[in-house]
Amino acid sequence: MPETVLNGSVVLDQVPVSIALSPNDVTAVPTCAENIHALAKTFDKSDNGRRLELLAHARSLVRALETPRETMIKHCWAQPGVYMAITMGVDIGLFKAMLANRACSKKVSDLAPLLDVDAFLLARVMRHLAAMGCIRETGPDEYELNGFSKSLTIPIIGDGYPCLAGGGRAALDKFSEYAATTAYQEPRSAEHGPFQYAYNTSLNFFAYLQARDPLGVQFNHHMGGYRQGRPSWMDGGFFPVYERLIQGARTDTEAVLLVDVGGNIGHDLDEFQRKHPDSPGRLVLQDLPEVLGQIAALDTGIERMSYDFLTEQPVKCARAYYMHSVLHDWPDDTCTRILTNLKAAMAPGYSKLLINENVIPDTQAHWEATALDMMMLALLSSKERTAAQWTHLIEVQAQLKIVKIWEGGNGVESLIECELP
């Protein structure tokens, strides 16, 4: 086969088409199958760790068996198509209509007039949903829901699709085009990045969503869905809440135990109050007024405070300032401003800063974390950070001290405990 020398390396001039028509890794198939068989023998749905292990081997088997051509068609046609179909289904109320009357099998001919949708269009969309495993085919143009499609009727699951379709995916689609205009440099500007390029806007991702109802509300729901089913630092065996946070905290009426900075509509403080109801001190939720205005229900024991974290922190000497998935939204220079504002409010020897974020391992990174990194890259010119990058940001740039990084396992957000140096 002809060869070419490129930058000192010998490369093949042409990869034969036969490679694209053969399984990606046929030698791995027996091992993957054996691992699945062994794990399945003792599978218990209540053992989430074993479930995830089995799922990883199942995905490895699919990747090994697929041909490159099949993978290409899946990426280019099937997955964009099913995202389109799910988004339309959520928008028109398809899955809620299918859930009615005990979620029995439904015919397209019955659903179409109920939803005021052309029957031919609906039939095509539902056919692809079935082919991709989102609904179950029970007859010609007849379908029923499965666990996934039932879940799409829950706002924290279903709303992510129209939200990102309306205010996010274009940035991913146009990222390569944008990167070419910058000579493929890593974007670092929150004001002039791939999102602004794709949407022809001066607004950042969050402002864009808030300005286009109902995208802002849908995004809040989406973040609620993201948090579900994941180990929490508030649970036993992760971060010692009593020993590191509650013990030694002030108990006077004005004392603030926990300030959730940029806490959205209060998911985390609500969880904290439920799991640690007897903890002393005030709980303060901070976010922009337009975000706090979207709160539908929140325990009256949680105080709401309008606040922009790029300005001076008004709550001084709290026991802990907490940020969940905030700093990953911003490039390093903006993060340094945020951390500097918090640092100025902290009391030496008393206050802590708790950062609940992904810490990307140097090898074997989990797909959820790397997927989120791609979202941050395209939407916000920001990143998921490695331990070395967190250390540089927190200790070198913001001049704070990392006490410990509390790990929840690969693919689980860590809790970075910080103090004044």
Q: Determine the pLDDT at residue 6.
A: 61
What's the pLDDT at 302?
96
State residue 7's pLDDT score.
67
Q: Is 186 a catalytic residue?
A: no
Q: Kindly write down the DSSP assignment for every residue of 281-342, as one continuous string.
A: SEEEEEE-HHHHTT-S---TTEEEEE--TTS--SS-S-SEEEEES-GGGS-HHHHHHHHHHH
Chain centroid, CA 328 distance in Å: 11
Tokens encoding 3: 């060869």
**Residue 42, both tokens:** 């003792």
Strand partners, 142: 107, 139
Query: Which CATH number describes the domain made up of 91-153?
Result: 1.10.10.10
pLDDT for residue 182? 97
Share of the chain above pLDDT 90, in %: 85
- Write out the CATH class of domain 230-419: alpha beta
Q: Is the pLDDT of residue 66 over 70?
A: yes
Alpha-carbon 57 to chain mean position? 22
State yes or no: is 328 an active-site residue: yes
Question: Which H or E run contains 144?
Answer: strand 142-145
* pLDDT recorded at residue 138: 97
Q: Which residue matches tokens 């004044």?
A: 420
- The tens digit of pLDDT for each residue in 23-50 reads 999 999 999 999 999 999 988 988 888 9
53 phi and psi angles, rounded to 5 deg: -65, -45
pLDDT value of residue 404: 97
Summarised one tens digit per residue, pLDDT across range 203-233 is 999 999 999 999 999 998 998 898 888 889 9
Give the pLDDT score at 411.
Answer: 74
CB neighbourhood size of 10 (10 A):
8
Mean pLDDT of the chain: 94
Please determine, for residue 303, whether its predicted confidence score (pLDDT) is greater than 80: yes
Burial 347-375 (b: 16+ CB within 10 A, else e): eeeebbbbbbbbbbeeeebbebbeebbeb
Choosing from 57, 221, 384, 413, which is the catalytic residue? 384
pLDDT at residue 9, as a whole number: 73
pLDDT at 347: 98
pLDDT tens readout for residues 268-287: 999 999 999 999 999 999 99
- Residue pair 355/320 in contact (Cβ under 8 Å)? The answer is no
Spatial CA neighbour of 283 closest among 295, 297, 300: 300
* Confidence label for 63 from pLDDT (cuts 50, 70 and 90): very high
- Is residue 384 annotated as a catalytic residue, yes or no? yes
* Neighbour-count burial of 310, counting CB atoms closer than 10 A to its CB (0-12 exposed, 13-18 middle, 19+ buried): exposed
Catalytic residue among 222, 267, 324, 357: 357
Give me the catalytic one of 267, 328, 413, 417. 328
CA distance 240 to 243: 6
User: Predicted confidence band at 367 (pLDDT cuts at 50, 70, 90)?
Assistant: very high
State yes or no: pLDDT of 1 exceeds 60.
Answer: no
Name the band, by pLDDT with cuts 50, 70 and 90, for residue 13. Answer: low
